[in-house]
Structure 1
């Protein structure tokens, strides 16, 4: 059934306009409750606090910043597009203006939605996603903030230096936040930046895969965190002449190769394997592919239209129905439905909004070839239809 739906979808949407509408509807549906409530200072009042009995964090100290940072990092490229009078343009503008209000509320000590950066280790993670939103959309989300709000963010980011996190992908969180401070001319900690970069070099295991710490684990953290944050951090370091261009080119080349894996993981039906920890992050599994497409760095043999069509089917399968939302529109613990048993000990409602990271390619305007090219089958769909596909290979960089 899903296979036939994929074939029909692939044939029907030959302009990409319907595909884009599915992306926009889904991203808006996911992000609106977080952004709208934060703008109205009702996030802490209204966001549900779902978690497992063995949840291991201080829930109310961390979950709200998780929701903000992860949502903002995912919607940032889309909100960075210029205003227009289309229905999508009006939705985008409304969401951007509310997010700007919400960002100010989140660092205002007088606001009921003031968020915690000063205690616990988890804010190291989600401050980095806030910083990444500013990196991805500086003109839309950072520069419009008033001077006091900017000053408050800088102070909160610097306050994170009193703590350290896990010895794995967490090093990139500290590194990226410090990299953002460098990018805006603030005092930054070069040791935290260099330590993150150096360990990622050491933990590279080949063929585009990084080990998440000293031992390799098969999960989606190369996409959730490692490739996108490392590429963004190295871009800042090159721009600020703190690293050679060759180092950025190498990490980008590795992300491009990894994006090929992600494209091949999309099944003919538009599903993908539910393996590894943190599968509750849903479409964040495709962040590296979405970012590679956004940067227009896809390999020649991975056509933008096949990425669009494959990801559209994934997004449609996950979000067109209501199985992943509660009655108020908040995401629920699970992978495709309410499946709390797959949540990790660090997963709560706020954690789930990493799902927005799979939508980065909405930052390409509607008249870009990613959206306007004729529909094309993705690799697995072609393979299972018996069509020609490119032989896969191992790379040595």
Structure 2
């Protein structure tokens, strides 16, 4: 039976809008809650012992060989910008410092063959994906996560990354995983494979279909992979290449413009109530759907009419809807299979517990300090909220880049 609600135009406002500081507390609490079980257990060499192993129907991978690296790589990539902030004496600062300390300890375990939590980079295809998220975390927070590692641990990560070269993956967004890992090696002065890098960049150019959308392979798929993977990894890779004079700066600029345009779609997709469409593959990745928007805001590249405060307010409502309750967590705090609740039937054949930690990618904007405009500006309505309440809205047009 349909619920009858008053139209948005006629709903009365209740109380004062939250401040940016209050919104930030919502984000920090949610990100810490999601990340803590993975980071804490890796630091204490109990990840493989304690992480649940849940899969959906018809799961098709070698679960114990891949799920732990999935959890670690994806969590790292999402929390990296936050951990890159300097220490301070606030409650948040203490949480951040402790999380960074635990992760650095855990990273040593992750590549120590003698550790119970030694992660598998050496077999199966899936580690190609999740090694790239580890590399992306190092790219996003080199001073916080890469430089503090001891010489032996760094050498072990480099060896693990290079070991991926004896395998290939799917002929789609997976090309970027290999490309970005090799790009990271280039960025730290290590020998890298230019063919894997150039092939990834060339194919993504070829698969661009217009108005900020890339086809994920030869055929277009309507899903969130432009945000989960394509825009952010391509921009990060081309930044490394252009900085090292291995690609024209114009290529990076073009990719960035396309991501900025795509971020407009993501912002407009958030409903007045703070929900968004659950369509396409991998919707169990939850807030990773907004990675491209979060990274665009983190880079301070939002379009002029998309104000930082409206993005903050829109994403805060999404985060509240997803993580304020307990529907997406089990009794021990691990994420459960589903979109907004325990819904294992919607999990893909490659989705397990570790896969779900892609959700952290929607929190990249926590890398902006608490005194940044994104967090300090007064609350502002986002596009769909303005549209559904009769306020002025900027027209949307196709853009060619």
Name the TM-score, length of structure 1 as normaliser.
0.98
SS of the residue corresponding to residue 323 of structure 1 reads coil
> Would you say 1:215 and 2:219 are equivalent positions?
yes
**What is the aligned partner in structure 2 of residue 12 from structure 1?**
17
Shift of 1:315: 0.3
Change (3 A) 1:189 1:313: same
Shift of 1:12: 1.6
Give the whole-Å Cα distance in 2 for the aligned partners of 1:20 and 1:387: 26
**What is the aligned partner in structure 2 of residue 115 from structure 1?**
119
Alignment of 1:346-385 (within 5 A): 346-385=350-389
Alignment of 1:50-69 (within 5 A): 50-69=54-73
Alignment of 1:323-342 (within 5 A): 323-342=327-346
Judge conservation of contact 1:41–1:113 (CA < 8 Å) in 2: yes
Change (3 A) 1:275 1:248: same
Deviation readout 1:315-364 (Å, 9 max, x if unpaired): 00000000000000000000000000110000000000000000000000
* Runs of 4 or more consecutive aligned structure 1 residues displaced over 4 Å after TM superposition: 1-4, 6-11
Structural RMSD (CA): 1.4
SS of the residue corresponding to residue 69 of structure 1 reads helix
Shift of 1:52: 2.1
> What runs of 5+ residues in structure 2 fail to find an aligned partner?
none
> Would you say 1:261 and 2:265 are equivalent positions?
yes
> Would you say 1:141 and 2:145 are equivalent positions?
yes
Judge conservation of contact 1:2–1:269 (CA < 8 Å) in 2: no
Give the whole-Å Cα distance in 2 for the aligned partners of 1:2 and 1:234: 49
SS of the residue corresponding to residue 12 of structure 1 reads coil
> What runs of 5+ residues in structure 1 fail to find an aligned partner?
none
Give the whole-Å Cα distance in 2 for the aligned partners of 1:165 and 1:2: 51
Name the TM-score, length of structure 2 as normaliser.
0.97
**What is the aligned partner in structure 2 of residue 71 from structure 1?**
75
**What is the aligned partner in structure 2 of residue 130 from structure 1?**
134
Give the whole-Å Cα distance in 2 for the aligned partners of 1:394 and 1:3: 30
> Would you say 1:173 and 2:177 are equivalent positions?
yes
SS of the residue corresponding to residue 205 of structure 1 reads strand
**What is the aligned partner in structure 2 of residue 315 from structure 1?**
319
Deviation readout 1:284-329 (Å, 9 max, x if unpaired): 0000000000000001000000000000000000000000000000
**What is the aligned partner in structure 2 of residue 42 from structure 1?**
46
Give the whole-Å Cα distance in 1 for the aligned partners of 2:6 and 2:94: 33
Give the whole-Å Cα distance in 1 for the aligned partners of 2:234 and 2:143: 22
Give the whole-Å Cα distance in 2 for the aligned partners of 1:38 and 1:266: 34
SS of the residue corresponding to residue 200 of structure 2 reads helix
Change (3 A) 1:214 1:50: same
**What is the aligned partner in structure 1 of residue 394 from structure 2?**
390
Deviation readout 1:237-261 (Å, 9 max, x if unpaired): 0110101111100000000000000
Shift of 1:2: 12
Give the whole-Å Cα distance in 2 for the aligned partners of 1:169 and 1:139: 28
Shift of 1:8: 5.7
**What is the aligned partner in structure 2 of residue 184 from structure 1?**
188
SS of the residue corresponding to residue 294 of structure 2 reads helix
Change (3 A) 1:249 1:101: same
Change (3 A) 1:197 1:67: same
Aligned length: 395
Change (3 A) 1:2 1:64: farther
Shift of 1:53: 3.9
1:285 pairs with one of 286, 289, 293:
289
Judge conservation of contact 1:10–1:377 (CA < 8 Å) in 2: no
